[in-house]
């Protein structure tokens, strides 16, 4: 199917992805813009996963101070080259994540960073609650898994939804990895709240 240059341009403007990829995505979905966006997003996440093992020795440290001075965040966002670290989109990503941390107050970056004793304590609490509710023993492990996932969404930055979107922080980072062509990751952060 032939796709108009206007549609290709529009998709490129929305995504920042190369013309050739935009054209082939539109052709693959019969010119449907929404389906092309979804297809490029899926391809981008797959490409980002391939890059996630690469070394990230460059990056930036940035921060956010809430307007009333009651919350502040320092964040280290890393990438592969100083060229990307100076990129406007990279800097914007850093600012957005720092602001998110100030609002959402995560305690860890990834579920793997949560200490095993914290995970065990949560599991025991959930298990006791489920037994008190009379849940069948053979279903408890599956329910526990769902409750742990919800727990990680509360305390782990990468598992949290960005603002009012349905996009997790790790997915937002993956989109930037695809767009900028380098591995990007949150190395660490510190959140300060007045009085804590």
What CATH number should be reported for the domain holding residue 38?
A: 1.10.8.10
pLDDT of amino acid 61: 96
Task: Give the pLDDT band (50/70/90) at residue 153.
Answer: very high
Q: Residue 170 to residues 126, 162, 173: CA-CA distances in angstroms?
A: 26, 9, 5
- CATH, residue 65: 3.30.479.20
Number of domains in the chain: 3
- To the nearest 5 percent, what fractions of the chain are helix, strand and coil? 60, 15, 25
CATH value at residue 150? 1.10.286
Structure confidence by residue, pLDDT tens digits, 55-99: 777 999 999 999 899 999 999 999 988 899 999 999 999 999 999
Per-residue model confidence (pLDDT) at position 50: 56
The two most distant CA atoms of the chain are separated, in Å, by 62
Looking at the structure, do residues 161 and 85 belong to the same domain, yes or no?
A: yes
Contacts of 137 (CB under 8 A, 6+ apart): none
Same domain, 70 and 85: yes
Q: Which residues span the domain enclosing 187?
A: 58-109+156-193
Residues 6+ apart with CB under 8 A from 30: 1
β-bridge mates for residue 168, sequence order: 161
**Is residue 49 predicted with pLDDT exceeding 70?**
no
* Helical (H) or strand (E) element with 188: strand 185-193
Q: Does 70 lie in the same domain as 28? A: no
Q: Which helix (H) or strand (E) holds 153?
A: helix 137-155
Residue 21 has pLDDT above 60, yes or no: yes
């Amino acid at each position: 199917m032939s796709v108009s240059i206007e549609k290709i341009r529009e998709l490129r403007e929305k995504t920042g992805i190369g013309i050739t990829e935009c054209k082939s995505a539109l052709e693959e979905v019969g010119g449907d813009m929404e389906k092309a966006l979804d297809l490029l997003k899926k391809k981008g996440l797959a490409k980002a996963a391939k890059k996630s093992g690469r070394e990230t020795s460059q990056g930036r440290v940035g921060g956010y101070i809430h307007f009333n001075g009651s919350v502040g965040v320092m964040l280290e966002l890393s990438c592969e080259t100083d060229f990307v670290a100076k990129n406007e989109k990279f800097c914007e990503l850093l600012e957005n994540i720092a602001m998110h941390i100030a609002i959402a107050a995560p305690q860890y970056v990834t579920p793997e960073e949560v200490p095993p004793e914290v995970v065990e304590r949560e599991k025991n609490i959930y298990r006791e609650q489920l037994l008190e509710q009379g849940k069948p023993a053979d279903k408890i492990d599956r329910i526990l898994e769902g409750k742990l996932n919800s727990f990680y969404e509360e305390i782990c930055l990468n598992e949290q939804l960005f603002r009012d979107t349905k996009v997790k922080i790790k997915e937002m980072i993956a989109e930037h990895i695809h767009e900028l062509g380098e591995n990007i990751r949150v190395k660490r952060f510190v959140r300060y709240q007045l009085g804590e």
